[in-house]
């Protein structure tokens, strides 16, 4: 029987992944943790603990007491916020991963999932259809920490046979929990402001294309990867995963089809330089070949669902 620990369950991904994993493995077998309270659905629907992942003794206690077999480690400081506090963010992103990997080694856990990001790429990477294996020279604190993290996953896999799995998520778009301080957050904020204010002040330029993905595709991809046959996995450090590539202007035009009076203006800030260093689209042929992933949502379908769901939240 699998016993799963989620670290960072209150965040944009954790708030949805925890619930999906509980459906598959049973509520009592998925122990949700975060440094802050999560939604009532998570805190009341199964085991929940306040846990700081940097506290390695406490983490060790929670894992051994609950007889955990797999960890999904989602806690991190994302790209935009990490630029404001570089050293603290590096410490959180790196020390937390090393705590989890060491624990996995000592307690011989079955699997570890830790998300990487498109931020591992940098200005010298081919930007269009970025390949799985390519030049990686990130120039952001977050990207440097994700690339280092990828190397550590590969190291623990080869040296200690820990079954580490990872996805280089694109920007994730969802309506359940607001985004956590990244550069792709504009593509979530825009929906809230469209509904609440009828206008959006965008922090990226109108023609900045970035790789994105609707959350249901990301959750399905994550679970598929964790269930895949270990012997088929050839990219232990992190799989490229492709969803939808679009610019703020394209997203604006798509929202306007539903809300003709919606207005946007562009005031790029420090996050523009981060976006400019990232790919515009991703080649995920290795993920397709190794474990058969294909995204199901396009821009039109995602926009329709986002508007419908955020409207519901606005009136409740």
180 contacts ligand NAD (rule: CB under 6 A)? yes
Consecutive H or E run containing 159: helix 141-160
183 contacts ligand SER (rule: CB under 6 A)? yes
140 contacts ligand NAD (rule: CB under 6 A)? no
Selection from ligand NAD, ligand SER, none that 76 binds (CB < 5 to 8 A by kind) is ligand NAD
* 169 classed as catalytic: no
- Rounded to whole angstroms, the Cα distance separating 69 from 25 reads 12
Consecutive H or E run containing 43: helix 40-45
- Minimum CB distance to ligand SER, residue 170 (Å): 7
- Minimum CB distance to ligand SER, residue 235 (Å): 17
Identify the CA nearest to 206 among candidates 164, 250, 239, 174: 250
Consecutive H or E run containing 7: strand 4-7
Stretch that binds ligand SER, among 50-58, 95-103, 182-190, 281-289 (CB under 6 A): 182-190
Applying the rule CB under 6 A, the residues between 74 and 113 that interact with ligand NAD are 74-76, 78, 92
14 contacts ligand NAD (rule: CB under 6 A)? yes
Of the candidates 32, 71, 78, 164, which one interacts with ligand SER according to CB under 6 A?
Answer: 78
- Rounded to whole angstroms, the Cα distance separating 187 from 204 reads 10
Q: What is the DSSP letter of 123?
A: T
76 vs 153 by CB, closer to ligand NAD: 76
Compute the C-alpha angle 205/206/211, nearest 5°: 90
Residue 176 near residue 15, CB atoms below 8 Å:
yes
Which residues bind to ligand SER, rule: CB under 6 A? Answer: 78-79, 117-119, 142, 171, 182-184
């Amino acid at each position: 029987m699998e016993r799963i620990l989620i670290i960072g369950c209150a965040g944009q991904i954790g708030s949805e992944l925890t619930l999906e994993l509980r459906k598959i493995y049973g509520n009592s077998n998925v122990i949700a943790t975060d440094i802050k309270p999560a939604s009532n659905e998570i805190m009341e629907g199964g085991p929940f603990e306040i846990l700081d992942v940097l506290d390695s003794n406490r983490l060790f206690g929670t894992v051994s007491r609950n007889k955990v077999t797999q960890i999904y480690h989602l806690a991190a400081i994302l790209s935009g916020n990490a630029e404001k506090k570089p050293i603290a963010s590096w410490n959180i992103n790196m020390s937390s991963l090393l705590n989890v990997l060491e624990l996995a080694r000592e307690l011989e856990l079955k699997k570890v999932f830790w998300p990487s990001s498109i931020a591992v790429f940098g200005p010298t990477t081919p930007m269009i259809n970025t390949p799985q294996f390519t030049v990686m020279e990130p120039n952001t604190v977050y990207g440097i920490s994700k690339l280092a993290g990828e190397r550590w996953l590969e190291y623990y896999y080869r040296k200690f046979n820990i079954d580490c799995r990872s996805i280089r998520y694109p920007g994730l778009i969802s309506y359940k929990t607001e985004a956590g301080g990244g550069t792709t957050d504009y593509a979530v904020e825009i929906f809230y402001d469209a509904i609440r204010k009828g206008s959006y002040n965008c922090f990226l330029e109108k023609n900045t294309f970035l790789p994105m993905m609707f959350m249901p595709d990301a959750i399905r991809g994550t679970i598929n990867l964790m269930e895949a046959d270990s012997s088929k996995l050839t990219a232990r450090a992190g799989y490229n995963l492709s969803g939808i590539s679009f610019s703020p202007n394209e997203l604006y035009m798509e929202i306007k089809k539903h809300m003709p009076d919606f207005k946007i203006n562009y005031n790029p800030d420090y996050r523009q330089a981060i976006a400019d260093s990232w790919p515009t689209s991703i080649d995920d042929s290795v993920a397709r070949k190794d474990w058969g992933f294909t995204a199901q949502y396009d821009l039109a379908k995602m926009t329709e669902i986002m508007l419908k769901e955020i409207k519901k939240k606005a009136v409740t």
